[in-house]
Structure 1
Amino acid sequence: MCNQQEIVNHSKIQKIFEDVFFVTGTMKNEFFGSMWQFSRNMTIVREDGNLSIFNSVKLNEDGLKALDELGKVTNVVRIGDMHGIDDEFYIKRYNAKFWALPDMTIESALKIDEPLIEGNKLPIKNASLFIFNTVKRPECIIRLDKEGGIMIACDSLQNWEAPDEFFDESTIKTMKQMNFFQSANLGPAWMHESQPQKDDFVRLKDIQFKHALCGHGTPLLHNAQQAFQERFKQAFNI
């Protein structure tokens, strides 16, 4: 979905929790045979002065200055196969380590430094990895063990309740028709491309968390697990 370079247009970096930050930017891409313009999110986690970037979104010069004030970017983490166009920018700019699932589609210019494998180390302490096993395109979620559990997701979990200033009008109309704008949603494009099966969500619904920071939409805070469990039941009757 997010595989074409786009203009640099984004919000300010928001502090969501202590050492957890969030920024929303623009993406323009050909999708289902037409050009779409929509929003996407980057999550930044700070640990011991080092920053790990999830779902990278290229920032403008003011944004990069604000990012540098937070700490040093040391890790770029790709958790969804449909994102990643801006990973190379951050890896080269900061000489950062690149983390990704081993079977992801990786550009020839990049090499995975640290594969995301269950049981292996992660870029952040006190975190755990959930991997979707049934999907056609690799996807995972990182859970931070803080604030009652924070899920960092890419396309699988979304919270696009309404279009924002990063959309164009034609894309809003199309995405309304395709039911993208729902709270605690499973990404419609991801469902179509990856075709996840029930077994993954049986495992996912048992993971304890309170908050979700997704690749698309606004942060879902405090009641995220309950909201997504209701969605899993609706989609898979579990």
Structure 2
Amino acid sequence: MRINYPPTEPHGEIRQLLPNFFYVPGTIKLAPGVTINRNMGIARWQDHLTLINPIRLRPQQEEKLKDLGRVSHAIRLGYHHGRDDLYYRDHFDLTFWTQRGSDFYPPKADKVLRQEDVCPIPGGRFIVFSQSRFPEAVLWLPFSGGLLVSCDALQYWQSWHGCTWFGKNLLRFSGIRRGMQIAPSWRARMVPSDKNPGLWLKYDFEQILRQPFLHFLAAHGDFCADNAYEKVVYAVGRAFPNMRVPHKINNKVI
């Protein structure tokens, strides 16, 4: 049976951000004239690649992806992402990871993503949101002093690259601003209507801040290098004013 996979959206070339970590700056069309950026992370361990928030690539870039290593795993971190996951699942001999109930797009998980479970990258750790209305997780990797990879929950914006005029203004209307932030529209979707948004999800962000990291990449926005932890602490502190946020000494969270 022929499957009509979603077509490839405009995207850039594979770029190296850290030793053994790469990304692809891409786009997603939400409506006529409304396009925003999106990112795919690529983690390499030995000769195995793990795709994080996958984006389907043009044939030339797909060949370059294969040159980096064997595509062995793909990870969906957010419920409303995954339009290209089925393409990768069908065209590569990989293991597909996502949370139970993250079924907005096919396919079903080969490996259910759980906080206490193993990670396809040795030393890595999933941090799963326990209180959100829809499945969401972040991934911590032991690369270059610590790397945090998010989907929609946390985002860092320095520019509006990859966004059309309407896309940029849609993001701004939804509350997205330059800098690190808990995305307001994501937070509104994830908090039940009968819960206090000033308290709900607080525990989950406390779990994230227990991990030391220097670098950050989300499914949308820009890469944040070297001082990402401090920026996330500030963003979480603004969202939850009564939270006692930790800080780092010698790269240890206290």
The DSSP-based 3-state class of the residue aligned with 1:63 is helix
Alignment of 1:175 with 2:168, yes or no, is no
Q: Superposition RMSD on alpha carbons, in Å? A: 1.8
Name 1:192's counterpart in structure 2.
188
Name 1:78's counterpart in structure 2.
76
Name 2:36's counterpart in structure 1.
38
Which has the larger Rg? Answer: 2
Name 2:194's counterpart in structure 1.
none
The DSSP-based 3-state class of the residue aligned with 1:68 is helix
Shift of 1:83: 0.7
Count residues in correspondence.
Answer: 230
Matches within 5 A, 1:1-238: 5=6, 7-30=8-31, 36-105=34-103, 107=105, 110-164=107-161, 166-195=162-191, 197-237=201-241, 238=243
Query: 1:70 and 1:212, CA in 2 relative to 1: closer, same or farther beyond 3 A?
Result: same
| Structure 2: segments with no counterpart, 5+ residues | 192-199, 244-254
Query: 1:37 and 1:6, CA in 2 relative to 1: closer, same or farther beyond 3 A?
Result: farther
* d(CA) in 1 for partners of 2:219, 2:121: 19
TM-score (norm 2): 0.85
The DSSP-based 3-state class of the residue aligned with 1:184 is strand
* d(CA) in 2 for partners of 1:183, 1:116: 29
Answer yes or no: is the 8 Å Cα contact 1:159–1:219 preserved in 2.
yes
* d(CA) in 2 for partners of 1:60, 1:192: 34
Answer yes or no: is the 8 Å Cα contact 2:53–2:219 preserved in 1.
yes
| Structure 1: segments with no counterpart, 5+ residues | none
The DSSP-based 3-state class of the residue aligned with 1:159 is strand
Shift of 1:162: 2.1
Identity across aligned pairs (percent)? 25
* Structure 1 residue ranges (4+ consecutive) displaced by more than 3 angstroms after TM superposition: 4-7
